[in-house]
Structure 1
């Protein structure tokens, strides 16, 4: 198969690469750019561990081809805070012990970043709906919901 040239922005940095047409965006991020914060769980789009932001929307990177990122802006967990301190959402996760093993955390944070950008004043039910596509086997979700509500009260994601 012939490789395809892509150019996109990843975590604020321009990226150009030659990729196989069927290479997933998750594998491109992890294997070509060494951005291993994007986790692979089910590789079927069900668990949410690979969730990233593409043009501000949360997407499952295991279901998107790297060539589909051409000309787009991609943000992974490594780029959520940029070069600055942790975001309020990340701090709230720490304060509320909303992570245990941490495997789901990057996907949760990116999902919730997009969610809070669109819904800055959510209810607990709104938060539960927003994370319904993200599987966490450790926390029981209560601390995650509390962390999101706390971050929303602070007014930043």
Structure 2
């Protein structure tokens, strides 16, 4: 890649630096030189490319980013072709990386069921939905064990 005067680094305009978002497929967008290709990176991993439109803007919808902090930057490239009577040369001209943009993706747990009452962070809320998870299974298993023990004790008393 050859740096060329006049090909400035792209600018990332969305998401904003320091933002917190709740989407693991965020739209990342910015500006660049029309006709250029923008390579977008999350740290060292390239997450996609976008082409800069005639209006100087580009957009990429990232796929399956993890919850947590991300640092995004971009590099702009252009193909430059020169045609002389002797040779046809094509160069890939690359910009410096953009200024990085850091944002955080927050993920929430999708709890099912309904609840009523008041409280903070679940304190004092009455569960009115169907129990889910391991707790109902453990309670059912404990009841079965206790019922079995009671039956064994009863048989032992009757056998005496």
- Identify the TM-score tier after normalising by the shorter chain: under 0.3
Q: As a proportion of its length, which structure holds more helix?
A: 1
Q: TM-score scaled by structure 1?
A: 0.26
Q: As a proportion of its length, which structure holds more strand?
A: 2
Larger Rg: 2
Q: TM-score scaled by structure 2?
A: 0.26
